[in-house]
Amino acid sequence: MNSELSATSHAYRDSARMVHPVAWLVWAGCAGLAAVTTTNPFYLLPLFASAWIVHSTHRTSGPAARSFRIFLLFAVWAITIRTGLVLLGPINQGSVANALLEGLRLGALLTVFGTFNSVADPFRVLKLAPRRWHESALAAALALSIAPRTIASVERVREAQRMRGIDIGRWSGLPSLAVPVLATGMDEAMTLAESMDARGHGRGTRTRYRPDRWSPAATAVTAIAGLAAAAFVAAAIGGWGGLEPSTFPLVWPEASPALVASALAFAAPALVAPGRRR
């Protein structure tokens, strides 16, 4: 309960180390690009870990940050499903390994996205969106902010319905979970949208209160992410580095030190972690 936790003050970040939302966007884009180019676990696993440590050190205290776990679970689920589907067909090590790696890539993308969601306040990013994209950016920001709150309500609904003796596990129990969760989610979305409307959203020329400053930290994050992504792109174009290791036969994929270092470099933002409690 929020009120019960009010004793812990999650003081906001030290603004000197704050990373501009656009820098996060660039970081996420570059990390995502790197993930897309490869299924090599020697590159993907460090990418996962980089996203995780960036999330740990830079997460905001909003509900979006709590949803990182959801993205991680989603990633694991994607990997499992992807591998599991293969098991339905003719099984051999190579195809299973192949599916696992494909799933790993998808999982890495989800995790990077989850990190972006938790370190950059979606509405701050929204404010920077050019007018033309404003509507879609608004929809995305609304969805991103509502989703974690909705997900949080799943547990409470589940509890209440279980108490009534409703078996949530079966298909027939699904409406008892879905209807309240979705209805509450929609209500919250409506309330938020109402509030934005009532406070003049989309009214006309806007001013900025305290614009995010572009700090040296932001430059560092952008530069490192850009270089790391460039390495992967170069490897993809040049055909080196073992970006798509063969799973047949099942042997250790190659690992280019340059690409490994690049994958690890995506963890660099963790080094400019914001100060903690004041």
* 9 interacts with other proteins by CB under 8 A: yes
* 157 interacts with other proteins by CB under 8 A: yes
Span from 25-33, 71-79, 178-186, 213-221 in contact with other proteins (CB under 8 A): 178-186
* 237 interacts with other proteins by CB under 8 A: no
- For the bound state, the minimum distance from the C-beta of residue 248 to other proteins, rounded and expressed in Å, comes to 5
In degrees, rounded to 5, the angle at the alpha carbon of residue 8 between the alpha carbons of residues 2 and 9 is 100
* 278 interacts with other proteins by CB under 8 A: yes
H and E: helices and strands count for the chain: 10, 0
* 271 interacts with other proteins by CB under 8 A: yes
C-alpha 160/C-alpha 178 separation (Å) is 13
Among 25, 140, 192, 236, binds other proteins (CB under 8 A): 192
- For the bound state, the minimum distance from the C-beta of residue 63 to other proteins, rounded and expressed in Å, comes to 6
- For the bound state, the minimum distance from the C-beta of residue 146 to other proteins, rounded and expressed in Å, comes to 9
C-alpha 91/C-alpha 125 separation (Å) is 46
CA dist 237 to 184, 234, 243, Å? Answer: 48, 5, 10
* 164 interacts with other proteins by CB under 8 A: yes
- For the bound state, the minimum distance from the C-beta of residue 81 to other proteins, rounded and expressed in Å, comes to 19
* 244 interacts with other proteins by CB under 8 A: no
C-alpha 258/C-alpha 78 separation (Å) is 28
CA dist 87 to 91, 145, 251, Å? Answer: 6, 37, 20
In degrees, rounded to 5, the angle at the alpha carbon of residue 50 between the alpha carbons of residues 47 and 51 is 90
* 169 interacts with other proteins by CB under 8 A: no
Binders of other proteins among 61-90, rule CB under 8 A?
61-63, 90
